Each structure stands twice: as structure tokens, then as C-alpha cells.
């Protein structure tokens, strides 16, 4: 089975208080075990990962250097996204390669720094809402807005932060390269952090300040690769309705009609479970015989066997 795996933050950084590279590599080595379990069973696995905390750390470091040195050097957000793809990809491919060797499985693992096309007219650009980077005073925010054209918004009384759009992915620039590698049996890590958002103007590819949700990027990649399954791995075993309430109900299966009903009831938190469910819905709508699963990282193998996780089905 050809599978696209979307890895949540818990697959990269188990302890939110420890953002060190050493901690991330240790977590990736544990994550690699679940991924290689699937490869060992004969599945072709491609990987998409998030980068929320990591790209925030990179951007904050860049901004801190800018503040301390009073220089004009501020790496653009798309470049910071590329930084995160490189170092998270390195940790994942290092960990997965090591686990494959332990099990005497001969497979190549590689990371592709990936540009993901978005529509420059996406409504997200009209009202940026995704906060990124450091906190600033009102005066600093006004200065950055004037000098750099940043959209700055007050954040819950803690200061001002830059906000960017969160557009939907349209295409993947490196899709032919990714597909060729996957077809040759390589374990490919791509579209990291949702990919580097780019637009195409007059046949020129240009990076834009935005954040693409990694679950939607994984779904788009699954379409491109003609994957059999989109598997979104997170911190919980199943999707639930009435979450954290006395009548919480864990779901084994949701059909598209139920998905729409639960979304209308606002059962799924925006920025958390909602994009996962919406991405699974989109993949099943793309082709009704495809499999979409939301499951915990530790039970990925069981989820594919149908004994854990939540499946999204057409009917």
C-alpha cells in the first residue's frame, strides 16, 4: 500500500518545554520505530511533518538578533521555513535510516526542500490571522509595519506579533522529483511544515509569507502520488465528539455526511483536529475508494489494520 504519513508535533518534540536539537533527535528516533514498522510490513511510505514550534524558534532567533544588533537583516519567513525543512528533515532521515539499518532493511531515505504553490487570490491573504515569531511593543510593531510591510496584531494583551495568511495548497513544484524517488522505493520526506508557500507570477516562482497547514499539504501530496491511504498521526488514538465532556464519544468511522454534521456542530477545534478531519474528507472526496485515517503515532500499524484510529469513508 502506498501511504502518505502526516506527522504531528508530538512526533518531533515530545517535551514542549525542551526545544533543543538533542531532544528533537531523540524524539525522532522513537518516531522512526513506528514509521519503519509500516515499511517492514511492505508499505511504501512518504512523510510530511509539521514545523510550528521549530519555525517559530528560528524566526524568534532571527528577530532577537535583529533587535540586539539593530541591523536591517531579517530573513524572510519563507526562508525560515526552508531552514526548518532542512533541519527537521535531517533529524527524521537520520533516525529512519538508523532504524532501517537495525532491521536490515535496505532503503534510501531523503529530504526534499519543497515549494508548495498557493493561489495569490486565496481569501486567507485578505485577512492574515496566523501569529508567528516574537512579541513586540506597539511602537516596535508600528515601525516594522512601516519598514517591512508586516501585518502586526495585538495578541491577548501580551504584545504585538506578526500575522500571516494560511492559504490552501494548490500544487507542489517538486512533485516530479518526489514521485520519481517514491517510485524507486525511496522513503521521501517532503512538504515539511506544509511546504514553503510560493505563488507563480509570469512563470516566476516567488516565496510569500504564509503558513500552509501540514495536513492539507499531506492531502495534496497524497493526491499527486496516487496514494492508497492518507494517515494523519497525532497524540490521540481516535477522533472524538463532545471532547473532554462526560458524554465524550470516540469514533471508529465517520462518513462524509457525519463529517459535515460534526463540523457544523463545531465539534473539532480549529488549528487542531479540524484541519485533520477536513484533509481526510478532501482525500476521500478526491477518490471514494481511498483510505483516510486519523490515529496516534504509537498505533499507526494497528490503525492500518483497522484495530485503532478513526477512518473517514465516503458512505
Instruction: Note if 67 is an active site residue.
Output: no
pLDDT of 295 reads: 96
Q: Exactly one of 175, 220, 276, 282 is catalytic; which is it?
A: 276
- Residue identified by cell 463540523 is 263
pLDDT at 136 over 70: yes
Spatial distance between the Cα atoms of 283 and 265, rounded to a whole number of angstroms: 22
Q: Exactly one of 168, 214, 220, 282 is catalytic; which is it?
A: 214
Give pLDDT tens digits for 76-130: 888 888 999 999 999 999 999 999 999 999 999 999 999 999 999 999 898 888 8
Q: What is the DSSP string of 42-107?
A: T-EEEEEE--HHHHHHHHHHHHHHHHHHT-S----HHHHHHHHHHHHHHHHHHHHHHHHHHTT---
Instruction: Note if 9 is an active site residue.
Output: yes
pLDDT at 71 over 70: no
CB 92 within 8 A of CB 223: no
For strands 44-49 and 291-296, give the pairing: unpaired
CB 255 within 8 A of CB 315: yes
How many Cα atoms are found within 13 Å in the side-chain-facing hemisphere of 192? 29
- Residue identified by cell 483510505 is 291
Burial 284-304 (b: 16+ CB within 10 A, else e): beeeeebbbbbbbbbbbbebb
pLDDT of 131 reads: 83
Give pLDDT tens digits for 253-281: 999 999 999 999 999 998 889 999 999 99
Spatial distance between the Cα atoms of 108 and 97, rounded to a whole number of angstroms: 7
Give one word for 271, left, alpha or beta, with left for phi > 0 and alpha for psi -120 to 50: left
Instruction: Note if 130 is an active site residue.
Output: yes
pLDDT range class, residue 307, cuts 50, 70, 90 = very high
Q: For 170-185, what is the mean pLDDT?
A: 98
- Residue identified by cell 465539534 is 267
Spatial distance between the Cα atoms of 202 and 183, rounded to a whole number of angstroms: 32
pLDDT of 24 reads: 85
- Residue identified by cell 485503532 is 308
SS3 category, 168? coil
Query: 220, 133, 213: which is closest to 167 by C-alpha?
Result: 213
pLDDT at 70 over 60: no
User: Can you read off the three cell numbers belonging to residue 223?
Assistant: 493526491
- pLDDT mean across residues, the chain: 91
Measure CA of the first residue to CA of the last residue in the chain; give whole Å.
22
Q: Exactly one of 9, 52, 192, 194 is catalytic; which is it?
A: 9
Give pLDDT tens digits for 198-207: 999 999 999 9
Give pLDDT tens digits for 218-259: 999 999 999 999 999 998 999 999 999 999 999 999 999 999
Instruction: Note if 271 is an active site residue.
Output: no
Q: For 51-71, what is the mean pLDDT?
A: 70
pLDDT range class, residue 133, cuts 50, 70, 90 = confident
CB 8 within 8 A of CB 297: yes
Query: 304, 278, 312: which is closest to 34 by C-alpha?
Result: 304
User: For the chain, what's the residue count?
Assistant: 315
Q: For 31-48, what is the mean pLDDT?
A: 97
Instruction: Note if 245 is an active site residue.
Output: no
Question: Phi first, then psi: what are they for 219, rounded to 5°?
Answer: -65, -45
Query: 216, 215, 210, 268: which is closest to 242 by C-alpha?
Result: 268
Q: Exactly one of 50, 52, 130, 309 is catalytic; which is it?
A: 130
Give pLDDT tens digits for 145-172: 888 888 989 887 889 988 889 999 999 9
Treating both helix axes as pointing N-terminal to C-terminal, what angle do 77-102 and 52-69 enclose, rounded to 10 degrees? Answer: 130
Q: Exactly one of 8, 10, 193, 309 is catalytic; which is it?
A: 10
pLDDT of 72 reads: 59
Amino acid at each position: 500500500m502506498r501511504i502518505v504519513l502526516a506527522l504531528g508535533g508530538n512526533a518531533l518534540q515530545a517535551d514542549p518545554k525542551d526545544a533543543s536539537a538533542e531532544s528533537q533527535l531523540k524524539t525522532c528516533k522513537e518516531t522512526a520505530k513506528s514509521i519503519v514498522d509500516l515499511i517492514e510490513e511492505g508499505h511504501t511510505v512518504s512523510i510530511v511533518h509539521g514545523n510550528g514550534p521549530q519555525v517559530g524558534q528560528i524566526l524568534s532567533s532571527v528577530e532577537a538578533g535583529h533587535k540586539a544588533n539593530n541591523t536591517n537583516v531579517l530573513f524572510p519567513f519563507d526562508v525560515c521555513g526552508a531552514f526548518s525543512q532542512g533541519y527537521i528533515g535531517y533529524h527524521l532521515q537520520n533516525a529512519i535510516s538508523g532504524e532501517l539499518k537495525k532491521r536490515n532493511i535496505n532503503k534510501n531515505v531523503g529530504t526534499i526542500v519543497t515549494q508548495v504553490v498557493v493561489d495569490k487570490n486565496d481569501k486567507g491573504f485578505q485577512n492574515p490571522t496566523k501569529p508567528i515569531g516574537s512579541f513586540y511593543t506597539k511602537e516596535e510593531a508600528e515601525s516594522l509595519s512601516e519598514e517591512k510591510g508586516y501585518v502586526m496584531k495585538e495578541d491577548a494583551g501580551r504584545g504585538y506579533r506578526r500575522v500571516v495568511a494560511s492559504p490552501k495548497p494548490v500544487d507542489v513544484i517538486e512533485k516530479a522529483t518526489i514521485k520519481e524517488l517514491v517510485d524507486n522505493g525511496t522513503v521521501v520526506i517532503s512538504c515539511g511544515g506544509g511546504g514553503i508557500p510560493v505563488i507563480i507570477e509570469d512563470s516566476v516562482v516567488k516565496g510569500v509569507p504564509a503558513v500552509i497547514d501540514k495536513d492539507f499539504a499531506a492531502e495534496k501530496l497524497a493526491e499527486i502520488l496516487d496514494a492508497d491511504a492518507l494517515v494523519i498521526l497525532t497524540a490521540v488514538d481516535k477522533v472524538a465528539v463532545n471532547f473532554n465532556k462526560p458524554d465524550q464519544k470516540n469514533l471508529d468511522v465517520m462518513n462524509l455526511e457525519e463529517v459535515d454534521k460534526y463540523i457544523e456542530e463545531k465539534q473539532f477545534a480549529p488549528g487542531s483536529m479540524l484541519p485533520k478531519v477536513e484533509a481526510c474528507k478532501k482525500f476521500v472526496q478526491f477518490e471514494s475508494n481511498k483510505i483516510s485515517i486519523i490515529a496516534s503515532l504509537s498505533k499507526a500499524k494497528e490503525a492500518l489494520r483497522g484495530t485503532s484510529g478513526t477512518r473517514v469513508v465516503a458512505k
